[in-house]
Amino acid sequence: MTTAVATTTEARAIVYRTRGSQHGPITRLMSPGDLGEFLKPFVFLDLFGFDTSGSSSRKGFGMHPHSGIATLTWLIAGDTRYEDTTGEQGVLLAGGVEWMRAGNGVWHDGAPAPGTTRVQGFQLWVALPAAEENAPAQSIYLAPSQVPRDGPARVLLGRHGAAQSPIPAPAPMNYLAVQLKDGEHWRYTPPAGHTVGWVAVNAGRLDAGDSPGGPIGTGELAVFEESGAAIDFVARGDTAFVLGSAAKHPHELVLGHYSVHTSKQALDQGEAEIRRIGARLREEGRLG
């Protein structure tokens, strides 16, 4: 981790840019085996967009498991039905947030609600600290009115300005959804210790930091140098993006198929719980 901090007159450098990999309606911008190691505790990011009007189009994610992480889904457009093995189920409205702390193991599902023809959003995975990676699963669903905001930024996780998310962040981190009008300038000053920083654009184009490759475009993720410096943003057209900043996750990433843990022992425990829950779901006829 670098200790150098740029002055307010220096632009924070962008050290990597990617458009990820396309998997049908999902663009994978970050995975634990690539950028997640550099950006941890942020270890995975998908930008998804489902058009459900066609009979052959994908209708959702299907019931699937996790352990050792928390997932945060920011629903930009379209209402979505949810169900999880903590016993929660319902409909999350566009603009809402799903927080799923998988901990020792959980299964969950999401699909467009009846009458919804288009769904768009980001799904983020956060690596949990050792004290929480095998804790009981916990789910929190926030209606749009429950997502606090400060200026142009909705606070999905953490705190910014006068706004604080009701979701308990497992470690020092912020995750914001920001909308700027064409030409609008906005400065983000990370809290002390937040040396990890990145941004992903879902609409418009964005000048940010020291960006020699030109504006960051729709569907692109940019990684900032590890630093405590502020980042200045200027919208090129009406622009929407998510931004993450955090203190660096101090553990190695031990990977399973749907899981990220800090040790092989913790991974084995989480995957055993996933198998146990999966067997129960199959007995109940809820899995194929």
pLDDT band at 269; cut points 50, 70, 90: very high
Nearest CA among 184, 213, 216 for reference residue 200: 216
Do strands 64-66 and 106-112 pair parallel, antiparallel, or not at all (unpaired)? antiparallel
- Give residue-wise pLDDT tens across range 201-238: 999 999 997 777 799 999 999 999 999 999 999 999 99
CA distances from 164 to 153, 157, 242, 243 (A): 11, 8, 16, 15
Residues sharing a CB contact under 8 Å with residue 171, sequence separation 6 or more, in sequence order: 41, 129, 246, 247, 249
In residues, how long is the chain?
A: 288
Determine whether 33 is exposed, middle or buried from the number of CB atoms within 10 Å of its CB (0-12, 13-18, 19+).
exposed
Order of strands, edge to edge, in the sheet holding 64-66?
Answer: 64-66, 106-112, 80-84, 89-92
Q: What is the pTM for the complete model shown?
A: 0.93
Mean pLDDT for all residues in the chain: 92
CATH of 14-283, one of 2.40.160.10, 1.20.1630.10, 2.60.120.10, 3.40.640.10: 2.60.120.10
Listed residue (179, 209, 191) closest to 74, CA to CA: 179
> What are the pLDDT digits (tens) for 170-193?
999 999 999 999 999 999 999 999
How far is CA 287 from each of CA 101, 107, 276, 278, rounded to the nearest angstrom?
21, 11, 13, 8
Q: What's the angle, vertex CA 139, arms to CA 222 and CA 190, rounded to 5?
A: 35
Query: 239 with 260: CB under 8 angstroms?
Result: no
Of 16-20, 52-56, 82-86, 98-102, the one with minimum mean pLDDT is: 52-56
